[in-house]
Structure 1
Amino acid sequence: MDVVARLASQSAVVIFSKSTCCMSHAIKCLFYEQGVSPAIVEIDQYMYGKDIEWALARLGCSPQVPVVFIGGKLIGTATTVMTLHLDGSLKRLLKEAGALWL
């Protein structure tokens, strides 16, 4: 859990992802299209990837990737992020975290 908290607080937007996951790819593209450069943690290529996956599951994230943190706070999985994007809340969160200036 400490590794996830440390990584999640190192950037305004952090995405825990797997390099082979199509939903992870879609969420990363969504942030790039918003003009945000998120920190990406590819847990399948990370030394402690299994521990991170376990910690994300303990936080209630199912599936374990993609999982997004904004401003160090857990936002959730792809479904939650897409819901926030569609209702306009995602941009507000990004601005508040300093990840987006427009």
Structure 2
Amino acid sequence: MDMVTRMVSERPVVIFSRSSCSMCHTVKSLLLEFGVNSSIYELDEIPKGREIEQALLRLGRNPIIPAVFIGGEFVGGATEIISLHLQRSLQPMLKNAGALWV
């Protein structure tokens, strides 16, 4: 989990994803529409992807991905991100994390 903690502390928005995951694509597209430059780690394409996936499992999520961190804090997956967007809470959260300047 130390590796994940270090990775999410480096950028305002970090997404752990898989390149073939449609919900991951949805979350990445939504954040991109806001103009967020997320750090995206495709777990199926990076050398320590399986290790990271095991660490994310400890968060108790099912499915594991997408796993979205905003401001270094675990926010959730696609359901949580879309819900925050519909509640109009996502944009202020992104702004507070320094991911948006608008």
Fold in common (TM above 0.5): yes
Q: Secondary structure at the match of 1:16?
A: strand
The Cα shift of 1:23 comes to 0.7
- Structure 1: distance between partners of 2:46 and 2:59: 19
Structure with the higher helix share, 1 or 2: 1
- Structure 1: distance between partners of 2:33 and 2:86: 14
Tell me the percent identity.
51
Kept after mapping to 2: 8 A contact 1:62/1:77: no
- TM-score if structure 2 supplies the norm length? 0.96
- Structure 2: distance between partners of 1:75 and 1:4: 14
- Structure 1: distance between partners of 2:20 and 2:39: 17
Moved over 2 A (4+): none
2:61 maps to what in 1? 61
Q: How do residues 1-102 of structure 1 correspond to structure 2 at under 5 angstroms?
A: 1-102=1-102
Report how many residues are paired: 102
- Structure 2: distance between partners of 1:3 and 1:25: 24
Q: Secondary structure at the match of 1:64?
A: coil
- For structure 2, which runs of at least 5 residues remain unmatched after alignment? none
Superposition CA RMSD, Å:
0.7
The Cα shift of 1:5 comes to 0.6
CA offset digits 1:3-50 (Å, max 9, x no partner): 111111111000000011111111000000011110001111111111
The Cα shift of 1:61 comes to 2.0
The Cα shift of 1:54 comes to 1.0
